[in-house]
Amino acid sequence: MTQTLKTKVLIIGAGTGGYVAGIRCGQLGLETVLVDGGDGLGGTCLNVGCIPSKAIIHAASKFETVSKAAGGGTLGITAAKPAIDLAQTTAWKDGIVKKLNAGVAGLLKRSRVKVINGWAEFTDAKTCTVRTADGDIIISAEHVILATGSEPVELPFLKFGGDVLSSTEALSLSEVPIKLVVVGGGYIGLELGIAFRKLGAEVAIVEMADRLLPLYDKALTDPVQKWLEKHGVELHLGAKAGSFEKGALNVTDKDGKALKLKADKVLVTVGRKPRTQGWGLENMGVAMAGPFVKIDDRCATSMKNVWAVGDLTGEPMLAHKGSTQGEIVAERIAGHDKVFNPVTIAAVCFTEPEIVSAGLGPLDVEGRDDVIQAVFPLAAIGRALAIEAGEDGGFVRVLASKSDHRLLGVQAVGQHVAELSNSFAQMLEMGAVLEDVAGIIHVHPTLGEAFHEASLRALGHAIHI
């Protein structure tokens, strides 16, 4: 039997953009229905992306620490040779996801958001049919928020399945592969490749570009490449992956030579694409911007009262961007004058070491003589040395306008620098100048002192170098 339902706001997708939009709509007193037909409450980030990957990365780092202690000792600590039961680690990771799922469900319930589990398909811009386990529900709404997210890009010659994995399957393995080949040297491939190397897998990385993480400048990526080389990760840069046959990946190297890389598993991480198929987007009459749904600074599409947030709307495909957009759309539907116009959206690579970038970097200001750049090494920070974070070439770098000292960008590479990202974004969003950062009393001993010292250095008077 088909049911019908009318609502003020209909949200499609329960990821970080969709569920946050739902909670805020509920807080603002808007009758809201949230349709979840994907990865579960929390979407890709909570279920098969950000959170589970960071859990596995954390476990891998713990394992590496014990392995060092067993291999001759570290910091005066010795230990017996460790073992890893990846099935137990995965179960622990799944427990974290389950707890967060329940938390999101509780928040939505408290905000009086009706959650429907099922797959939606639109017949027009404001009407969809949701197929659920209990039958079809036709939903019509005054406002529609599209938050369908993204999915891994599949290569035609390396279809997902069996021993060819996307990041989703890689995060649910029950055993550490003996030999893992990662196709794609972006942040997802490197994060997981490094984690599995720490867990004992032999890892090779195949990247088409001539260097890793090509969207970042070389100074930021060099410490990561040095870690990979030091830990025996095989790098094939400027190389093209081919088919996977009989336990070997066919690769053409930068010189055109054919190689066969033995592998138990092949992890394909060549990017993500917006999830635009299978839910009737073509029936909604919204304008597109290439593969993405086109929006303005209100997150409004070309169709009245149809909004879009998150990965569906374009780069950067970051969870915190989607969440912010979700809040803004809820505010606008409630009649508040909000726009999405951030100064910066900071990004983090949870590699070894970590990379943070906010605002403009050297590649963005190349050739300009009106910009000050200053770098301060973590090796000169006491806290960094005390937690072994100052020995891998890490640093904090600031870029500022030469005329008025306005901060234009901040980057960092080093262990644990992800925790500096919010400070970087905050200073840029508030329009800080170098003197603002220099005038803040930074807590000692912390890694944040490197931001302080880099700003002092840009002004010509760093203290500890």
Known catalytic residues are 444
CA dist 462 and 281 (Å) reads: 55
From CA 399, how far away is CA 355, in angstroms rounded? 16
**Residue 259's beta-bridge partner residues?**
251
Write the Ramachandran bin of 161: left for phi over 0, alpha for psi from -120 to 50, otherwise beta: left
Between CA 419 and CA 320 the distance in angstroms is 15
Residue 28: both structure tokens together: 């603002």
Number of H helices, E strands in the chain: 12, 24
Q: Please report, as a single letter, which amino acid is at residue 318.
A: L
Q: Whose CA is closest to 142, among 332, 280, 385, 279?
A: 332
Sequence-ordered list of residues with C-beta below 8 angstroms from that of 293, at least 6 positions apart, any chain: 146, 274, 276, 281, 286, 287, 301, 308, 312, 313
> How many CB atoms are closer than 10 A to CB 408?
23
Q: Which residue has the tokens 């009737």?
A: 280
With H, G, I as helix, E, B as strand and everything else as coil, classify residue 246. Answer: coil
